[in-house]
Structure formats: C-alpha cells, structure tokens
Amino acid sequence: VTSQTLDRPDDRTGRRAVNRTSAVVRRDPARRRRRRRERLRILAFLSPWLLGTGLFFVYPLVTTAYLSFTRYDGFVSPTWNGLQNWRFVFREYPFFWPALRNTLWFVLVMVTLRIVAGLVLGMLVIHVKRGRSALRTVFYAPFLAPPVAATLAFVFLLNPATGPVNAILGHLGISAPSWFNDPSWSKPALTLLALWGVGDLMVIFMASLLDVPRELYEAASLDGAGAVNRFRHVTLPHLRPILVFAVVTGVIATMQYYTEPLVAGQVASGQIGGSGQQLEPGYPAGSTLTLPQLVFNLGFERFDIGAACVIAMVLFVLSMVFAGFLMRRGRGFLGGED
Amino acid sequence: MTRHLRRPLSGTALAAALALSLTACFGQAHGGANDNPNADVTITFWHGWSAPNEVHAIQANINAFEKLHPNIHVNAVGNITDQKINQALRAGGSNAPDVVSSFTTDNVGEFCSSHAFVDLTPFLDKDSIDPATTFPKPQLAYTQYQGDQCALPLLSDAYGLYYNKSAFQAAGISGPPKTLSEFDADAVRLTKESGDTYSQLGFMPDYHFYESTITHFAAQWSPTYFASDGTSNVAADPGIKAAMEWQKGLVDRLGGYSRLEKYRTGFGDEFSDSNAFMTGQVAMMIDGEWRAGMIDDSHSKVSYGVAPFPVPDAMASQYGKGYITGTIVGIASTSDKQNAAWEFVKYLTTDTSAVVSFANAIHNVPSTIAALKSPQVSQDPNFQEFIKIAANPKSTTTPSSPNGGAYQLTLQNLGYDYESGKQTNLDAGLQSAAHQIDTDIAQTQ
C-alpha cells in the first residue's frame, strides 16, 4: 500500500490496510498498551496548550455565549431568557447601531491609513542616507506613549478655543474645525492620533523592506521597470505576508478600540459624571462610541451582563469573519509559500 | 488524536466549563444577621474618599466609633471606585467589605433589587429609628428602591446658584434672581460679547457645561420621573417639558447653541482652578456646596455669593428648593458580621455629632434632619444657604432605578438633541424617551 493510496480514505485498498492494522492492535495487548502510552505522552506534551486554551479561550467563550442567553446582573445567578438580550441589543438598544457604524469606520479608515502611513514611513526611513537612526527614533517614540496620556495631549492640542493647532491654523487664515468637539471631525481627530503612533508598523515594514533581495530590483530595472513597477511587482509581493499580518492585527485591535475614544470623548465633553450627571456615550453626538464601550456600559453601568455578552459575541464573530476573509485573500501570514 | 479519545475530552471540557460557570463565577446573594453583636470583630469598610483632609475626617469618625464600641474594630479602605465595589459585592469572600459607601446614588436600585445590600429596615426597626423623621425626604428617596431601604445617606450635596458679585455690581444687578424670568434677564445683562464669542457669559445653559444638567435644572419644577406602577413619567410630567423649553429658550437668547458650545470648549476643568466661574468666564452657574470650599481654598479672586437656584415664575412661593444628592452607605449581604456592621452604619449616619463633624470637615451638607438643625454645623453664611436648600421640604432628587442612571442618560440625550436643534418636536422626543426608559427597565426585569 503506497502512501498515496493511504491518503485517500475512500480507497478500498487503503481502508482495508487500516482495518487490518486496527485488528492487529486489538489482538495484541502489548501493542495496545504501547499505543495508549504514546497517546498519553502526546496528551502530556499538549496539556499546557490544552489547559491554557481551555481556561483562557474556550471557557470564557462558552460562558460568554451562554450568558448572552440569560438575564444576569452579576449579583443573582443567571436565568435563561432565550433571545431577549439579542432582540434588545439589535432592536431596542439605541447605541448599538451607531457604535457598530463607528467601529466599522475605524476598521476601514484608520487601519488602512495606518498601514499606508507605516509603509510610507518605513520606505522613507530606509532610503534616507543620513540621520536614519534619529528619524527611526522620532517616528517610533510616539508609539511608546501611554494611550491615555497621548489622548489627553491631543485633546489639549486640538482644543478649538485654546489649542495651539487651531491658533496656528487661524493665523494662516484657515477655518479650523472643532476636532474632538465636532461629530464630523472627532473620528478624523482620533485617526490623526492613531497615525501619530504608527511607529510599530513602520518598524515591521522597515525590517521587511530591508529583506527584499537587491538582485530582484536590479533585474527589474534591467527589464525596464520604473519605480512604480518595481514597487508593484517586487516590493509588494514580498511584503504580502507582513501586510496581511498588519491588516489582521490592525482589524482585531481596532475592534477592541476603547481607551482613546473614551478618554477623548470624556475630556472634550468637560464632564466627569456623577449623580444627576450622566456621561454622554461617545461625545460628541455618539460619534466616538465604539462596541467595546457598550460592553462596559451594559455590563458594568447597567448591570446587564447578558446584553453585554451579546455585544462581546458580535465583536468575536466580526473579528473572526474579518480575520478569516483577510487570511484567505492574503493567503495567510506565509504568503504564497503555503 | 483519535476520534474516540477526542469525544470524552471535549465532553469533560464542556462539563468543566459549565461547572465552573455555575460555581466559581456567580457571587452569593444572601447573608445573615445572626452574628453576635458583642463579639470582638473587625469589619471592613470601603469608601471613596482619598484627599488627605477627607481620609483624616473619616478616620476621626472611625476612632470615635471604636471608642464607643471597643469590641468592633474598623478596617477602612479608601479611594475605592464603584467598579471595585460592584466586583467585591459580586464575589464576596473573606476580603470583601462588610460596609460599603459610594459617591453615586445611581446604583442603589440595583443594590436593593439584587439584595447585594441587605434591607436595613429590620435593623432600623430594632433600634426604633424612624427613617421618615430622621432623614430628609430626598435622601430617603435615593437610598431606597420600591420600599427596600438598602442604604442610608452619609452626608449630602445640595445644588444652588453661584453668582459673581463684582459682575452683578458692574451690571447694576442688586441681588440674586429668585424667578427664572429674572434669572434670564440677568443672564443676558451679564453677557458681554467679543467678536463672535464672549468676554463674559451671564450663564452657560448648555447641558455639557459642568453641572448644567437636565435633572439639576428640572428639580426646580419638582418632577416625578416614575409613575406609581414604575413606568416612566417623563412624557406626562409637565415640569420636565417646561425645564427643557426654558433651557432651550435661554440657549437661543444667549447667542445660540453653536456659539455657546464654541465658547464652552475653551473652559478649564470643572474641578480645577481653571473652572470657568472661578476665572470669570461665566458670571453665574449651578453647582453644589463643595464649590464654595474649593473657591476659598484656590487662588481665585472671584467675589462670589450663593443663593437657591431660581424657580419658575408660577412657583415663586417655592423659592429655596434645589436638587439633592449625596453619598450612600450600606451593608454587603455577603457580610457575616452584619450586626457589627449595622452598629457602624448607624453611628455614621444617625449620630448627630458624627454627621456634623464629618460634614464640617469635608464641606458637605449633613444628611439627617437633626444634624441640619444643629448649631454645631458650620455657620458660614454661604454654607448655610445650602443647609437651607437641603432642609427645604420641596427639594427633590433623581430616584433610584434598577439599571443605574440609564433613564437619566436617555433624558439627557434628548436634551442634547433638543438644545442643538436636532430634535424640534419636544413632545415626540419625550414620548420616545419614555418608551426607551420603559424598554430599558423591562430588559432588567
């Protein structure tokens, strides 16, 4: 029996061979014990992974899915309420659809712009002859800034009345927007903040760009390829696995986008919250509201953990769909090698 | 891995997950009050105070309590947020608090209905404390839910009008306004325009400005947020509609929403020396009693006066009332030292000297009727204005509900839409808000 025939389960010869082997194992206790020991050894080697995945992925996922079908306030044991939470979130919770729209906006616009900016900066830095290290540091340093501090700085810099950015734009005769205080400009302002911290992608792209064999560029040039064609036919194919990685991780991170929009909204609104003063979700006018903020709002402010779990499931499914689609289209992190 | 090995493993994993989810994750819901009140015990008290003077003041009260009850020791843990409180109440355990205080009244409905806090009525009855004659009406309203008195007030906050005396003098205004028509006229007179913005604004009515919220304003109409059957009353209550119309009218008179919002974005933080009232950018504002202490302790040169917030012209006889809120304290149902915990809660909330000394120390309003009348309460004229507002029988609060402050948020969002012109049909907006509030509450049942 060749390996080729064994690979085909519907092959009569292969099936017969497997059955024959099983019969031999069943009849031979020593071989059976050896096989069991082997399985246990495999299981022992796999156990750290099984334990970790079970505890930190499967268990939370199964519990979240279960709780999304229950009425659960965190104090009293959950009670089954069928599809009520799903109906509430999709039909009656006024913040869900705006938050979903905002999240998708960030996924499409912010992730795209971050990748483009990271790639452009990476190419710029590797082509600079002098001061490359300094430039690399300058572009990478903002990525190290804590998100809360960076957001606070941006809100103050872009303050429409007292911020230096609008003062400069005013001196130049440009009608400056209200940035974080204007529903039309709050998302672009957050995108600017994300672009300021694009150093992580720059470093990844830089490393990949330096890895492209020089001979390929030389061969392309000899074939008459210009700069655009060299980028299209040499650089981009080489970068594909990194691009897929950047897009997938960017999409997943943006699905979890929480700190920056929350801090920007609350600081720009000028409110601190308290009895009789509810913080406006996604100030201004819900424009910075994202799905993770709703998880907190429902689960920890409204004591509705069941409905919060619905949002968590929506986020999980969306992330899986995006990641699956991108991995398929981009042929995985290994590019064409697989 | 073979198929027959995978099946029992997946079954075991599922069973383990379900078992864990049904045991480890869900907190206990019941406590007991059978502990010996004379036993030597240590109770844990969680509170949110963090400033040195506040921590010192609460510790002084704890020391006084321990002198009175040598068998009860109090382990105080400060700077606790509401999120931590919720987690601890859910989890229980030996490190969980016995006594919990929270700065917000919004969660009382959930604490009561879920029995995360024990009902204090049996304890009050046992010690012959009549809540109705011990605590002012608003304080009782925000510490109970549907008859379950699961919390008690631990100092209060009263809201009134702060006004800039120098600006009043410069504008030729003799004293604080008492009715809203006087107030509107003063706000306009105090406003100084500068190009397309202001050099001084009489009053900032925008709902995003500090304490200028719909619920704080609406208190001057003494609204009823919920009908007796627990359904929303915001569409039926004439006061809420009137409050929104008044606010919108003032927004328009002072220059319009966009212009006011642009001016507002240049204001400093509410709780800093850059507060717009303290810098002179606004001449009047609605705020709580704590602001007076903050102005006095700051470098601000503003010469300020305080008064009750004006009332609608048709309710002029009720001048003196205002919005009331405060800190609440309760006993965790997971506590197995509830009798000792009750002794502590009783002392903090009903002992007049304890309430008064704590109120004086942290510039808050006392929360019992006896303490409000006490001659030991700070006699500072500004502070006394807030004492009168807190003691006014017409003062109101926002009642507790089972889903935190969700109903206030719904109302507030309507306010944002109405003041900005996004919503022009207020009746339809209020109907929609009432429906949303009922839907949100039904979701929690």
B42: left (phi over 0), alpha (psi -120 to 50) or beta: beta
The residue type found at A50 is L
Yes or no, beta carbons of B21 and A66 under 8 Å apart: yes
In this predicted structure, what is the pLDDT of residue A332?
60
User: What is the SS3 assignment for B349-418?
Assistant: HHCHHHHHHHHHHHCCECCCHHHHHCCCCCCCHHHHHHHHHHHCCCCECCCCCCCCCHHHHHHHHHHHHH
Selecting from A88, A92, A278 the residue whose C-beta is nearest the C-beta of B408 gives A278
Three-state DSSP class for B327? Answer: strand
Strand partners, B75: B44
Burial B348-369 (b: 16+ CB within 10 A, else e): bbbbbebbbbbbbbbbbbbbbb
Contact present, A85 and A68 (Cβ < 8 Å): yes
Indicate the range of A15-29, A256-270, B36-50, B138-152 predicted with least confidence. A15-29
Residue B168 pLDDT more than 50? yes
pLDDT of B88-128, one tens digit each?
888 777 788 999 999 989 889 989 988 889 999 999 999 99
Tally of residues, chain B = 445
In this predicted structure, what is the pLDDT of residue A275?
60
On whether any CB of chain A is under 8 Å from the CB of B86, the answer is yes
Tell me what the pLDDT averaged over chain A comes to.
88
On whether any CB of chain A is under 8 Å from the CB of B142, the answer is yes
Contact present, B402 and B107 (Cβ < 8 Å): no
Vertex B222 angle, CA B220 and B290, to 5°:
55
> Which A residues in the span 281-300 are in contact with B, Cβ-Cβ below 8 Å?
281, 283, 285, 300
Closest to A237 measured CA to CA, from A335, A303, A104, A106: A335
Distances (CA, A) of B26 to A78, B1, B88, B109, B264: 8, 34, 12, 20, 45
Q: Tell how far CA B285 is from the center of its chain.
A: 18
Residue A38 pLDDT more than 90? yes
> Which chain B residues have a beta carbon less than 8 Å from that of A73?
110, 114, 444
Tokens of B123: 């304890």
Yes or no, beta carbons of B403 and A280 under 8 Å apart: no
Let me know how many helices (H) and strands (E) chain A has, helices first: 18, 2
On whether any CB of chain B is under 8 Å from the CB of A166, the answer is no
Yes or no, beta carbons of A159 and B266 under 8 Å apart: yes
DSSP 8-state symbol, A234: I
Selecting from B5, B264, B323 the residue whose C-beta is nearest the C-beta of A276 gives B323
Yes or no, beta carbons of B29 and A76 under 8 Å apart: yes
> Which chain B residues have a beta carbon less than 8 Å from that of A59?
16-17, 20-21
In degrees to the nearest 10, what's the CA dihedral of B64, B69, B73, B76?
Answer: -40
pLDDT of A263-301, one tens digit each?
999 988 887 776 666 788 899 989 999 999 999 989 988
In degrees to the nearest 10, what's the CA dihedral of A4, A6, A12, A17?
Answer: 130
Yes or no, beta carbons of B216 and A277 under 8 Å apart: yes
Yes or no, beta carbons of A162 and B1 under 8 Å apart: no
Three-state DSSP class for A75? Answer: coil
Three-state DSSP class for B201? Answer: strand
Chains A & B: contacts with CB separation below 8 Å: 149
Which of B199, B265, B397, B413 is the mutation pick for testing A, counting most A CBs within 10 A?
B265
> Which chain A residues have a beta carbon less than 8 Å from that of B22?
77
Residue of B nearest to A94 (CA): B436
Average pLDDT value for residue range B14-42: 53
Selecting from B1, B215, B264 the residue whose C-beta is nearest the C-beta of A276 gives B215
In this predicted structure, what is the pLDDT of residue A29?
85
> Which chain A residues have a beta carbon less than 8 Å from that of B409?
278, 280-281
pTM of this structure: 0.82
> Which chain B residues have a beta carbon less than 8 Å from that of A305?
none
ipTM greater than 0.95: no
Beta strands in chain A (DSSP E): 70-71, 79-80
Vertex B434 angle, CA B432 and B436, to 5°:
70
Contact present, B319 and B176 (Cβ < 8 Å): no
Residue of B nearest to A181 (CA): B265
Question: B94: which residues sit within 8 A by CB, 6+ positions away?
Answer: none
Yes or no, beta carbons of B83 and A300 under 8 Å apart: yes
User: Do the strands B304-307 and B324-331 form a parallel or antiparallel pair, or are they unpaired?
Assistant: unpaired
Selecting from B210, B398, B403 the residue whose C-beta is nearest the C-beta of A270 gives B210
Yes or no, beta carbons of A62 and B14 under 8 Å apart: yes
In degrees to the nearest 10, what's the CA dihedral of A291, A295, A296, A299?
Answer: 160
CA distance A63 to A16: 43
Indicate the range of A93-97, A174-178, B133-137 predicted with least confidence. A174-178
The residue type found at A172 is L
CA distance A202 to A207: 9
CA distance A139 to B60: 53
